[in-house]
Structure 1
Amino acid sequence: MSTPTTPVPEAPFTIGTPEFVADPQAHYAWLRENAPLARTRLEYGPVSQPIWVFSRYRDCRAMLTDPRLPRSPAGGSAMTTGLPEHLRLLSIESVIMKDDPEHKRLRSLVSRPFTPRMTAKLGERVRDLAVARLDALAGQDVVDLRQEFALPIPYTVIAEMVGVDEADRPRFQSGVTALLSDRSAEGWDLQIRDLVAFTRDLVARKHDDPGDDILTGLIHAEEDGDRLSEDEVVAMVFTLVIAGYETTYNLITNAVVTLLDHPEQRTRLQQAPDDDALWRSAIEEIVRYSGPVGGTKPATAAEDIDWDGRTIPAGSSVLPLLGSANRDPDAFDAPDRFDITRSPNHHLGFGYGPHFCLGANLARLEARIAVQTLLARHPHVSLAIPRDELRLEPMPLWTRYDTLPVLLG
């Protein structure tokens, strides 16, 4: 059989540039129409790397379950040599970067503490936190809803999930802030090292004095005599922070912006405060239409791959553009229309397959309860600035507003 020779086109733009971030959907539409598999570059600050991207729904979904495109290619363990501990825990040891069978083992163990009872408790706590935050904001003229409402709720939930005492919250928050910031930022390395040390100490304390929290559950999670190692527990805490905190506060923020942009859909939700099915459907549509995550961690081609007559060379970094897949007209009827009753809605906003987002259900729960509470308390909430003055943070493949100034009304 001859090797496919059809060349893979190069996109006439770089992912992550200001021009791309300003209007990613226009670039996604061009890719779907002209180069559903394309070569381009991914730019983040001073770093720029070559990347192969899929933009159509069917290709993105197929890629996410293709064993030829692992997160950690064969020989990845050699990368641990000489790697500082904090970077190893953030990369090599993270479940996000594992492949089966190790990935399946870790997912199975980490799912055990998330019982229906624990999930119900989290829902009650989210509602209490949302009410408390709105109480604290009462009487203020202009509120940055992202910083003062969307962000504190998931941060507090994560801190309580891992059993961080009130006295330790400032140190934990400093580490979490660094974990989610640019690695080139001054002091980042020292802050992450401190977060690792803090987490190891917290794990040791939970061994001696178990609590009613997820971290204790992770320490004691067992299947057929297998348990998580200390390194795996620490790495899992980092994963929970990234999956259950960063995604969630941006989802809450984006949900508010999207509903303010579509007042008829917002009114429909407000007229049905107890319609649980409608609210759940609305959150799914928000994830599809304006979800914060536009791509996954890159995979690496483990071999030369023939994809519809085109060759992806072994060793290539490959990325599914989830934000593009979720607007593919071949997968969704009128994909640019925001419809809280959309059904079916098989979006890829939380990924697909083995690496489906660990924090998806928590993000859904927190976003739904936070927005429900906000709209019930402040039914006339509105932007405090013109819509075109809202700014997205310059992060490739993320939809993150830097602020969300509102009048609570």
Structure 2
Amino acid sequence: MTSSTTPMTEGIPAIGSPEFAADPQGHYAWLREHAPIAQTKIDYGPVSQPIWVLARYEDCRAMLTDPRLPRSPGGGSALAAGLPEHVRMVSEESLIMKDGTQHKRLRALVAKPFTPKVIERLGERVRALATHRLDALAGQDVLDLRQEYALPIPFTVIADMVGVGEADRARFQLGVTAMLSNFEGTRQDWDAKIRDLTELVRELVARKRAEPADDILTGLIQAEEDGDRLSEDELVAMVFTLIVAGYETTFNLITNAVVTLLDHPDDLARLREAPEDTALWRSAVDEVVRFAGPVGGTKPATSVEDITWYGQTVPAGATVIPLLGSANRDPAAFDEPDRFDITRTPNHHLGFGHGPHFCLGSNLARMEARVAVQVLLARHPAISLAVPRDELAFEPMPLWTRYRQLPVRLG
């Protein structure tokens, strides 16, 4: 993709449209220069929503702590309005969509399983899963690394964390796959799978209440802060949040990391030669998040009053999204922002957000990506693309950088 400016004489294309997806960094550069606050629309499945977008780093960062821009004023999300009831419930009960004291309450109840020390203890489990997957793939000439390696590792981790037994894993995977599919297939089929996933999570909650286990879902059920506990709807919503934060983000981060390193062979060689340099590997993962992170924007916020940026007034009630993918390439915030640098310091990217909604699963995603790529490079140092680079295509997901496939030769 080029970083050159793209003329937009006919207005700003919809986020996620083929025109925008063909050159997102070009559009981001144009927006930062000419329209740092702009009105467009976003299409998400059956929902088409007019939105305002912010393109510059400092504006995006400030927005994420601005009380005039809550995510759910009045308890509802603008983008959830057209979704089925069971989907709207898990969205609106999620801590991702809560503000103020409601958000603080939920975050306090769920934060303990996500401390850096707890996440690092999962490292050996991730290493074992990565090794097992590569054992299973041994002897294959060409394989889809996204589907056969990047995806199964975080799926197994999140299923373990939630406490999904072997008997329920196929059913769990069907629902998770539908949830992350951007409404592919028929609407009725998608609704049925999401409804079944919701019912499965409720069944799991009931089982863990009756028979507590050593997993995060049991921990969430038992979590208490000043006599307060999560309701059943909040527990179900939290599992869906874990799926997005701990699974969807992570397998795409692993995929994007491999592509980015193959695009930068000198950095790839440096990491391959320093498998024990944890600081360098952590820095490299953060640079992947900045340079080619899977998440290009946060959940939408709603203005509760008129807000003016650069002489442009965003009216009360408008939906506003910070373009994190643009902010992370802003030359006002990063030296040579279009250069991939695994030693970049400081690296204050917004790939995991900022402020009260900073991603709770950031430590988990970083660790899984680091370990998965370390194991892959140690086992297959000659890994290479099995198709020309320009044949790698993105999925049509607005504000996501998700490859459809990653065909490789392990070497």
Q: Please indicate, yes or no, whether the TM-score normalized by the shorter chain is above 0.5.
A: yes
Deviations 1:86-122 (A, max 9, x none): 1233221111111111011101101123355632331
Counterpart residue number, 2:53: 53
What is the CA–CA distance in structure 2 between the aligned matches of 1:143 and 1:84, rounded to whole Å? 37
> Which of the numbers 316, 319, 326 marks the counterpart of 1:317?
319
Matched residue SS, 1:379 = coil
Letter in 1 for 2:269: T
Matched residue SS, 1:340 = coil
TM-fit CA distance, 1:151: 0.2
TM-fit CA distance, 1:286: 0.2
RMSD between aligned residues: 2.1
TM-fit CA distance, 1:83: 8.3
Larger deviation: 346-355 or 46-55?
46-55
Sort the Cα spacing of 1:220 and 1:337 in 2 relative to 1 into closer, same or farther, 3 A: same
Counterpart residue number, 2:288: 286
Larger deviation: 383-392 or 84-93?
84-93
What is the CA–CA distance in structure 2 between the aligned matches of 1:81 and 1:263, rounded to whole Å? 46
Sort the Cα spacing of 1:92 and 1:390 in 2 relative to 1 into closer, same or farther, 3 A: same
Deviations 1:173-225 (A, max 9, x none): 11111111234632111111111111111111111111111111100011111
Whether the aligned pair in 1 keeps the contact of 2:93 and 2:237 (CA below 8 Å) is: yes
TM-fit CA distance, 1:47: 4.3
Whether the aligned pair in 2 keeps the contact of 1:21 and 1:395 (CA below 8 Å) is: no
Matched residue SS, 2:403 = coil
Whether the aligned pair in 2 keeps the contact of 1:278 and 1:340 (CA below 8 Å) is: yes
Counterpart residue number, 2:127: 127
> Which of the numbers 385, 396, 401 marks the counterpart of 2:403?
401
What is the CA–CA distance in structure 1 between the aligned matches of 2:138 and 2:75, rounded to whole Å? 56
Counterpart residue number, 1:5: none
Letter in 1 for 2:336: A
Counterpart residue number, 2:388: 386
Whether the aligned pair in 2 keeps the contact of 1:393 and 1:401 (CA below 8 Å) is: yes
What is the CA–CA distance in structure 1 between the aligned matches of 2:321 and 2:294, rounded to whole Å? 16
Matched residue SS, 2:41 = strand
What is the CA–CA distance in structure 2 between the aligned matches of 1:89 and 1:310, rounded to whole Å? 34
What is the CA–CA distance in structure 2 between the aligned matches of 1:250 and 1:184, rounded to whole Å? 18
Is 2:299 the counterpart of 1:297?
Answer: yes
Counterpart residue number, 1:20: 20
Counterpart residue number, 1:216: 218
Counterpart residue number, 2:246: 244
- Which runs of 5 or more residues in structure 1 are unaligned? 1-8
TM-fit CA distance, 1:84: 5.6
Deviations 1:105-151 (A, max 9, x none): 10110112335563233111100000000000001000100000000
Letter in 1 for 2:265: P
Letter in 1 for 2:137: L
- Which runs of 5 or more residues in structure 2 are unaligned? 1-8
Letter in 1 for 2:225: E
TM-fit CA distance, 1:61: 0.3
**Superposition pairs of residues 78-97 of structure 1, within 5 angstroms:** 85-97=85-97
Counterpart residue number, 2:309: 307
Counterpart residue number, 1:345: 347
Q: What's the TM-score once normalised by structure 1's chain length? A: 0.94
Larger deviation: 46-55 or 79-88?
79-88
What is the CA–CA distance in structure 2 between the aligned matches of 1:318 and 1:174, rounded to whole Å? 32
Sort the Cα spacing of 1:408 and 1:184 in 2 relative to 1 into closer, same or farther, 3 A: closer
Matched residue SS, 2:39 = strand
Letter in 1 for 2:154: P
